[in-house]
């Protein structure tokens, strides 16, 4: 497997967690390189459902070491909850998880700031997960963030924490929002320091050592290309680079060590939060995909917006990331439909276009050009190989591959580990 990167090609929630879990069977190291606990990667093993937010999905495979890279923003309290929940589900964490000493930390004041900024945007709100992700990355870029390495010296940490909290309090006060009390916040955060500090290390050194020793490494993307702060539907994006460059900066690994890029896409499209979504379906059609696909956010429980597969955005996403092959998930969700549509191009103010606009205003004028596909109306969730798939499902997948110009390696037909076809 060497080094393989798994990235979402849509707006997140493509089912990356399951693909990573399956591939992690043969991985020595699994690495998160961006985002924070805004992510929600769901993996079902037998009757048990695991939802991972910060910890790489590889933790569910006993043989894998897991790294939270320098590009991730870590909420210490969120991480402790996640570790404890997984340990309650009999997953051993503490000797298998390392956090980069360069990773930035997320605190309660970042979450409150996330809410304040959303309120100020009113009708133009991003619809964030309110996990403080944007404000924590903003502090990082403003060079006032607090890093995991700071956990190792409690006195200095306290000084930085107090400074940051007071800075945020001044903003809360100016905006008529309740301030945080330093003493009560310190009482909460101090025990978290003792818990997390032993997990902090130079992960760049250990990751590169693993690569030198020919270990199989999986890089686990969170969110998706269209939520990338540079390449996504700005400003309706998250605050990190969810695309391929984020692997190098967010894990401390050179491009020459990346051997394969797998793009994960649903057989249709979903999005949570506000922002453009050209192929969105409303009412009956959208509701049916949502209910059959159980399209509710793993982190916030919000209903996901649902729509047809968009080959224009997906082709662009594959190009930007140099995707070698696609993993198509949730094919079975389309089993019940009478007609299946794929968007092959856009009409923007009467002009046909095959590219994705940069401007949000342009998105408002997109009329998707659709191609109809015959349905298959049979149960794909029991398929074990390509040949078990109904002819029309094969034709549908082949068409997605043709339109995006990328071959399909993996098709997932249900949440279980064994509901997967390798093509």
Instruction: Cite the active site residues.
Output: 13, 41
Tokens at 11, concatenated? 């707006």
C-alpha 312/C-alpha 305 separation (Å) is: 18
Q: Name the segment binding ligand IMP (CB under 6 A); options: 200-208, 219-227, 241-249, 255-263.
A: 219-227
Closest to ligand IMP by CB, 161 or 236: 236
The site that binds ligand IMP (CB under 6 A) totals a number of residues, namely 20
The DSSP call for residue 15 is S
Least gap, CB of 186 to ligand IMP (angstroms): 26
C-alpha 339/C-alpha 373 separation (Å) is: 6
Least gap, CB of 286 to ligand IMP (angstroms): 17
Taking CB under 6 A as the rule, does residue 99 contact ligand IMP?
no
- Concatenated DSSP letters for 109-155? HHHHHHHHHHHHHGGG-----SSSHHHHHHHHHTT---BGGGGG-HH
Least gap, CB of 336 to ligand IMP (angstroms): 24
Least gap, CB of 212 to ligand IMP (angstroms): 32
C-alpha 243/C-alpha 232 separation (Å) is: 10
Closest to ligand IMP by CB, 110 or 341: 110
Closest to ligand IMP by CB, 66 or 222: 222
Q: Give residues 11-40 in contact with ligand IMP (rule: CB under 6 A).
A: 11-13, 38-40
Q: Can you tell me whether residue 415 is helix, strand or coil?
A: coil
Tokens at 292, concatenated? 């059959």
Asked if 312 and 354 touch (Cβ cutoff 8 Å), the reply is yes
Q: Name the segment binding ligand IMP (CB under 6 A); options: 129-137, 255-263, 333-341, 389-397.
A: 129-137
Least gap, CB of 199 to ligand IMP (angstroms): 23
- Selected from 81, 118, 125, 127, the binder of ligand IMP by CB under 6 A is 127
- Selected from 64, 128, 412, 419, the binder of ligand IMP by CB under 6 A is 128
Q: How many CA atoms lie within 13 A of 210 on its CB side?
A: 24
Q: Which of 412, 423, 226, 222 is nearest to 315 (CA)?
A: 226
C-alpha 111/C-alpha 299 separation (Å) is: 14
Tokens at 395, concatenated? 């034709």
Q: Can you tell me whether residue 214 is helix, strand or coil?
A: coil
Whole-angstrom CA distances from 277 to 71, 144, 192, 367 are 27, 35, 40, 11
Closest to ligand IMP by CB, 73 or 323: 73
Q: Give residues 256-295 in contact with ligand IMP (rule: CB under 6 A).
A: 272-273
Tokens at 63, concatenated? 């043989």
Closest to ligand IMP by CB, 52 or 397: 52
- Selected from 43, 67, 106, 126, the binder of ligand IMP by CB under 6 A is 126
Taking CB under 6 A as the rule, does residue 233 contact ligand IMP?
no
Whole-angstrom CA distances from 114 to 53, 79, 103, 108, 287 are 18, 19, 19, 10, 29
Closest to ligand IMP by CB, 128 or 243: 128
Q: Which residue has the tokens 């140099």?
A: 322
Q: Give residues 377-396 in contact with ligand IMP (rule: CB under 6 A).
A: none
Taking CB under 6 A as the rule, does residue 223 contact ligand IMP?
yes
- Selected from 227, 248, 262, 267, the binder of ligand IMP by CB under 6 A is 227
Asked if 273 and 303 touch (Cβ cutoff 8 Å), the reply is no
Whole-angstrom CA distances from 355 to 6, 326, 387 are 24, 20, 34
Least gap, CB of 7 to ligand IMP (angstroms): 13
Q: Can you tell me whether residue 281 is helix, strand or coil?
A: coil
Closest to ligand IMP by CB, 157 or 219: 219
Least gap, CB of 155 to ligand IMP (angstroms): 32
Q: Name the segment binding ligand IMP (CB under 6 A); options: 77-85, 123-131, 261-269, 396-404.
A: 123-131
Least gap, CB of 306 to ligand IMP (angstroms): 13
Closest to ligand IMP by CB, 302 or 395: 302
Tokens at 369, concatenated? 């050009």
Q: Which residues bind ligand IMP (CB under 6 A)?
A: 11-13, 38-40, 126-129, 131, 133-134, 222-223, 227, 238-239, 272-273
């Amino acid at each position: 497997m060497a080094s393989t990167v798994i990235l979402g090609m849509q707006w997140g929630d493509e089912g990356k967690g399951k693909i990573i879990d399956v591939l992690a069977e043969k991985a020595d190291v699994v690495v998160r390189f961006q985002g924070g606990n805004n992510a929600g990667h769901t993996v079902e093993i037998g009757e048990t459902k695991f939802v991972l937010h910060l910890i790489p999905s590889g933790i569910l495979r006993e043989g894998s070491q897991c790294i939270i890279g320098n590009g991730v923003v870590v909420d210490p309290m969120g991480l402790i909850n996640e570790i404890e929940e997984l340990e309650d589900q009999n997953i051993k964490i503490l000797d298998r998880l390392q956090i980069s000493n360069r990773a930035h930390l997320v605190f309660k004041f970042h979450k409150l700031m996330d809410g304040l900024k959303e309120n100020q945007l009113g009708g133009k709100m991003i619809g964030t997960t309110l996990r403080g992700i944007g404000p924590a990355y903003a502090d990082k870029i403003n060079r006032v963030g607090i890093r995991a390495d700071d956990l190792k010296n409690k006195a200095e940490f306290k000084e930085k924490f107090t400074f940051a909290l007071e800075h945020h309090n001044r903003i809360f006060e100016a905006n008529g929002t309740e301030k945080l009390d330093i003493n009560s916040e310190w009482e909460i955060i101090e025990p978290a320091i003792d818990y997390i500090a032993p997990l902090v290390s130079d992960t760049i050194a250990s990751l590169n050592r693993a690569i030198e020793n020919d270990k199989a490494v999986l890089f686990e993307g969170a969110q998706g290309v269209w939520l990338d702060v540079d390449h996504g539907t700005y400003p309706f994006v998250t605050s990190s680079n969810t695309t391929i460059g984020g692997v190098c900066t967010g894990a401390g690994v050179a491009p020459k060590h990346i051997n394969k890029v797998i793009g994960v896409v649903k057989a249709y499209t979903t999005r949570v939060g506000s922002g453009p979504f050209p192929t969105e379906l409303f009412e009956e059609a959208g509701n049916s995909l949502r209910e059959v696909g159980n399209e509710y956010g793993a982190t916030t429980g919000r209903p996901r917006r649902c729509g047809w597969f968009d080959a224009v955005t997906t082709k662009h996403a594959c190009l930007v990331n140099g995707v070698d092959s696609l993993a198509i998930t949730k094919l079975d969700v389309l089993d019940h439909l009478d007609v299946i549509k794929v968007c092959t191009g856009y009409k923007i103010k009467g002009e046909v276009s095959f590219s994705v606009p940069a401007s949000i205003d342009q998105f408002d004028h997109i009329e998707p050009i659709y191609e109809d596909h015959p349905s298959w109306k049979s149960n794909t969730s029991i398929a074990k190989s390509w040949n078990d798939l109904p002819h029309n499902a094969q034709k549908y997948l082949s068409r997605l591959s043709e339109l995006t110009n990328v071959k399909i390696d993996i098709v997932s037909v249900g949440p279980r580990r064994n509901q997967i076809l390798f093509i």
